[in-house]
Amino acid sequence: MGDFFTLVDWAVEDAGFWGRLIGVVAVWAVPITVWVSVVGLFSIWLERKVSAHIQCRLGPMEVGPHGALQTLADGIKLLAKEDIIPQGADRFLFALAPILSFVGSFVVFAVVPFGPHLIIADLNLGIYFLAAIGSIEAIGVIAAGWASNNKWSVFGAVRAATQVVSYEIPLSLSLVTIACLAGTLSTIGIVESQAGWIWNWFLFRNPFMVISFLIFYIASLAECKRAPFDLPEAESELVSGFHTEYSGMRFAIFFLAEYAAMYVVSAMGAVLFLGGWYTGIEPLDSWLTTSPVLGNVVGALAIITKAFFLVFVQMWLRWTLPRIRLDQMMYLCFKVLVPVGMVVFMAAAFWQGVFGAPDLGGLGSKFGLAWFVVVVVGTTLWVKKTIRRTKGYASANFLEHQARLGHDVGVS
Amino acid sequence: MSSEPASTTTDFAHSGDLRTEEMLLNMGPQHPATHGVLRVMVRTDGEMVIDCEPHVGYLHRCFEKHCESVSWLQSVLYTDRLDYLTAMGNNWGYCMAVERLFGGEIEVPERAEYLRVICQELNRVASHLLAIGTYGMDIGAITPFLYCFREREKILYIFETISGQRLNYNYIRPGGVAYDFTDDMVTMIGEFCEYFRPKMAEYNDLLSSNQIFKGRTANVGVLPIETAISYGCTGPVIRGSGVPRDLRKDQPYGVYDRFDFDVVVGSGEAGTLGDCFDRYICRVREMEQSIGIVEQALADLPGGEFRSPKIKQKIRPPKGEAYTRIENSRGEVGFYLVSDGKDVAYRNKCRSPSFHNIHVLPEISRGHMVADLIAIIGSMDIVLGEVDR
């Protein structure tokens, strides 16, 4: 890994502005752009598959094995489409909006670590950067809605503005809670303070962090405009909301930005609450750190797995829940999440002050272990109960039922 | 500055220095949630609906005039296209009117009456499945729609086996039905009933007991009993407001008096009596009742003829007029027929439930948000083919 960083150092220190720029582009921007595209394509494919299997369908099956190349094919189709700007639209803003939206979710990748050394910029105010730059996406959305010269799009834009104003606050509150526990704003520092066994993760650090995680997760759903907070694009209400008038590649960029943002917030969820690149097994982690290459590879795998698990939960929620109304969304934010977030913040800070002190000899981590057991047992019981209740559901064995009626379900 | 027209908006529109204006919003005829080609002109203040006006007629295709130029039997085909989701009910309503024109001349065999009941109730289930599925989609839950279609698909498969058609059956004909059931069909329907009953839990899980769904539908679009009656609402719309109005009970036609079933009415369990949730839950529970009726009908299905031998290719009812009405899945369907003794109808007038139900929309959507307007239209469960005819 050393060589990799020497290159950046060389670019930053000796090469002047242009050399620096070229160095950064060559070393980071190109691979990250490729990575964002891959994540976007994979997430879109995953969404189609997840939704299909939730809905007793098969999803894309034709292009590539299990339709893996379907998104690529769709992308090529969108690329080849005519670029339409509606009459009466603000042409400049209309063209700028998808780019703004994409930049917002793309730049945040700078502070998302993939391993102990795999990060573009270990800013000392990393999560502040996340909160600040992450909302640029909303400006793109608002611009798109306004520039389209369409009443439904304006509705979408105003809803997006409302949503971003509402959800930045609880999101920031849970970020502040994390900062309070970790004692740093750097994403690397935050992950490093979760080293050790799985109950050292901030999710289990004290009884309030589960609530904080839920607040973060709900707020991040709203940030990505995912159901049940997909108000700005509310398909059945606003046709397609802010991107009603968009087609072709501009639409594809919006789409890609949305899925990239989904991945980013999920990766940040993994970094902030789920131990980042740590596997949660202390001996394994400490052995991995002896080898930087292996440590980074396994770390990247760990963080991507955790992130995609959270992405999967986002999809799961989207294909299960109805959409909430604008006023209910604001009620939930200002009257539920913000007060609860405040209480959690203070309680977590108090807990950290009392039990987190180093001279207590690991009392804090004993609480973490206890809380971990409670969470795991509770979740297991709940899942078991749900499985028992839904055992006879046809969605569980739909192929069988289709076959019984003599329908060809197209599985080869 | 030009003089502002006197506005009846609520105070929030003129708070402080911010001046807001009303916006005229054209919803439809091309809109994903208007269930066809309904056009609603909405005056909004921000997201609030101040007033709205449904514009109908985009699907008008001269049903009544058509029926004056084709023979009595051919008109059955056109009734299929009215409420294309419950074609059996339309067939039945029309055929009953034709049979009444004949006086006592045409006797519908008992077996045919039972087959009619079975088909109508299965079709009611199919129609309600689509209604609650698309209603979930209006609210933003897409998955229940697919689940409902999974079951509806099975009903359509049964209908395809019975009548050769999946949507426009042309199955119930004056004097009986088009084809008899075979034993296989009876078994198939019995198996479906058995399969369907436990599936209700899935819809209830995803929608009826979902807090977000309740939040979106409870206390929204409250239809008071008086308004419902004065606008001539029927079907689940008026039953949702707590009026136990069901022609199958009030004025039993066919053999409905032989079956044991309940008229489901709304009770305001999630919010206010007559809100969107009540109309929705009425449909869910009616499906259960319908399946019960099908099971009873299958249990004592008599043998014998399935259509009256008196019906020939060309029929000429005697001079006179007749009006019949039946309880279709969306409410009361009425057919008024006038015959002058020729082989085509002199006049055919259809009373369709959706037409009456949709016009209560402005009354109950004022003061709600645009998202609620979608929920209200969805809870009305209109079929534009029937509104415009």
* Per-residue 3-state assignment (H helix, E strand, C coil) for chain B: CCCCCCCCCCHHHHCCCCCCCCEEEEECCCCCCCCCCCEEEEEEECCEEEEEEEECCCCCCCHHHHHCCCECCCHHHHHHCCCCCCHHHHHHHHHHHHHHHCCCCCCCCHHHHHHHHHHHHHHHHHHHHHHHHHHHHHHCCCHHHHHHHHHHHHHHHHHHHHHCCCCCCCCEECCEECCCCCHHHHHHHHHHHHHHHHHHHHHHHHHHCCHHHHHHHCCCCCCCHHHHHHCCCCCHHHHHCCCCCCHHHHCCCCCHHHCCCCCCCCCCCCCCCCCHHHHHHHHHHHHHHHHHHHHHHHHCCCCCCCECCCCCCCCCCCCEEEEEEEEECCEEEEEEEEECCCCECCEEEEECHHHHHHCCHHHHHCCCEHHHHHHHHHHHCCCHHHHHC
Residues in A closer than 8 angstroms to B31, CB to CB, are: 239
Contact A273, A209 (CB under 8 A): yes
Residues in A closer than 8 angstroms to B207, CB to CB, are: 322
**How many angstroms separate the CA atoms of A390 and A384, rounded?**
10
Q: Pick from A155, A236, A390: which is nearest to B140 by CB?
A: A236
| pLDDT given at position B7 | 45
* CB atoms A319 and B142 under 8 Å: yes
Pick the residue from chain A with its C-alpha nearest to B25: A151
Question: Which residues 6+ apart lie within 8 Å of A410 measured at CB?
Answer: A58, A61
| pLDDT given at position A5 | 46
Give tens-digit pLDDT for B254-284. 888 888 888 888 888 888 888 899 999 999 9
- The answer to whether residue B19 scores a pLDDT higher than 80 is no
Contact B80, B94 (CB under 8 A): no
| pLDDT given at position A146 | 87
Mean pLDDT of B321-332: 90
Contact B152, B130 (CB under 8 A): yes
Is omega for the bond preceding B244 within 30 degrees of 0, making it cis?
Answer: no
- Which pTM does this prediction carry? 0.83
Q: Which residue reads 């002109």 in tokens?
A: B41
- Axis crossing angle, helix A126-134 with helix A151-182, rounded to the nearest 10: 170
User: pLDDT-based confidence at B125, cuts 50/70/90?
Assistant: very high
| pLDDT given at position B6 | 45
DSSP A120-132: S---TTHHHHHHH
Contact A174, A219 (CB under 8 A): yes
Q: Pick from B150, B216, B372: which is nearest to A398 by CB?
A: B150
Residues in B closer than 8 angstroms to A322, CB to CB, are: 136, 139-141, 207, 210, 212-213, 216
**How many angstroms separate the CA atoms of B3 and B1, rounded?**
6
**How many angstroms separate the CA atoms of A292 and A289, rounded?**
6
Q: Pick from B141, B207, B369: which is nearest to A327 by CB?
A: B369
Show the tokens assigned to A64.
């590539």
> What secondary structure letter does DSSP report for A27?
I
Pick the residue from chain B with its C-alpha nearest to A332: B212
Contact B43, B66 (CB under 8 A): no
* CB atoms A322 and B33 under 8 Å: no
Pick the residue from chain A with its C-alpha nearest to B203: A393
Contact B122, B92 (CB under 8 A): no
* CB atoms B371 and A230 under 8 Å: no
Whether A6 contacts chain B with CB within 8 A: no
Residues in A closer than 8 angstroms to B139, CB to CB, are: 236, 322-323
* CB atoms A393 and B201 under 8 Å: yes
Q: Pick from A319, A325, A405: which is nearest to B216 by CB?
A: A325
Whether A390 contacts chain B with CB within 8 A: yes
**How many angstroms separate the CA atoms of A274 and A309, rounded?**
11
Q: Is B176 left (phi over 0), alpha (psi -120 to 50) or beta?
A: left
Q: Mutating which of B147, B188, B208, B376 best tests the A interface, going by the most A Cβ atoms within 10 A?
A: B147
CA distance A324 to chain B (A): 6
- The answer to whether residue B9 scores a pLDDT higher than 50 is no
Counting every residue written for chain B, the total comes to: 389
* CB atoms B154 and A405 under 8 Å: yes
| pLDDT given at position B8 | 46
Show the tokens assigned to A369.
């272990």
B350 C-beta neighbours (distance < 10 Å), count: 22
The neighbouring-strand residues paired with B344 are B71
Mean pLDDT of B335-348: 88
Chain B residues interacting with chain A (CB cutoff of 8 angstroms): 23, 25-26, 31-33, 46-47, 136-143, 146-147, 150, 153-154, 157, 195, 198-199, 201-202, 205-207, 210, 212-213, 215-216, 369-372, 374
Whether A386 contacts chain B with CB within 8 A: no
Helix or strand or coil: residue A87?
Answer: coil
The better pLDDT of the pair B92, B389 is held by: B92
The neighbouring-strand residues paired with B39 are B55
Residues in A closer than 8 angstroms to B372, CB to CB, are: 325
Segment holding A388, helix H or strand E: helix A363-389
- pLDDT averaged over 10-residue windows placed end to end, chain A, 412 residues: 46 61 72 83 89 80 83 88 84 88 83 78 81 83 87 87 87 88 84 79 81 90 84 76 83 86 89 84 76 79 90 89 87 90 88 66 67 85 82 57 52 39
Residues in A closer than 8 angstroms to B156, CB to CB, are: none
Q: Pick from A57, A324, A394: which is nearest to B199 by CB?
A: A394
Give tens-digit pLDDT for A189-248. 888 888 777 777 888 777 788 888 999 999 888 888 887 888 877 777 777 778 888 888
**How many angstroms separate the CA atoms of B265 and A252, rounded?**
48
- The answer to whether residue B321 scores a pLDDT higher than 50 is yes
**How many angstroms separate the CA atoms of B85 and B88, rounded?**
9
Contact A54, A319 (CB under 8 A): yes
**Mean of the per-residue pLDDT values for chain B?**
85
Contact B279, B266 (CB under 8 A): yes
* CB atoms A395 and B147 under 8 Å: yes
Q: Mutating which of A55, A237, A388 best tests the B interface, going by the most B Cβ atoms within 10 A?
A: A237
Domains for chain B: give ranges and CATH numbers: 11-55 (no CATH), 63-388 (1.10.645.10)
User: Residue A365: what residue type?
Assistant: S
Segment holding A163, helix H or strand E: helix A151-182
* CB atoms A234 and B371 under 8 Å: yes
Q: Pick from A236, A390, A407: which is nearest to B137 by CB?
A: A236
CA distance A316 to chain B (A): 11
Q: Pick from B32, B143, B195: which is nearest to A55 by CB?
A: B143
> What secondary structure letter does DSSP report for A200?
G
CA distance B42 to chain A (A): 12
**How many angstroms separate the CA atoms of A204 and A372, rounded?**
6
The neighbouring-strand residues paired with B349 are B336
Is omega for the bond preceding B29 within 30 degrees of 0, making it cis?
Answer: yes
| pLDDT given at position A358 | 53
Helix or strand or coil: residue A404?
Answer: helix
Mean pLDDT of B23-29: 84
Cα dist. B195→A71, A236, A246, A409 in Å?
37, 31, 44, 19
Whether A161 contacts chain B with CB within 8 A: no
Give tens-digit pLDDT for B42-69. 888 888 888 888 888 888 888 888 888 8
A313 C-beta neighbours (distance < 10 Å), count: 14
A346 C-beta neighbours (distance < 10 Å), count: 13
Q: Pick from A228, A235, A398: which is nearest to B212 by CB?
A: A228
B161 C-beta neighbours (distance < 10 Å), count: 15
Give the number of beta-carbon pairs within 8 Å between A and B.
Answer: 95
Name which of A106-110, B239-243, B364-368 the model is least confident about: A106-110
Whether A282 contacts chain B with CB within 8 A: no
The neighbouring-strand residues paired with B331 are B328
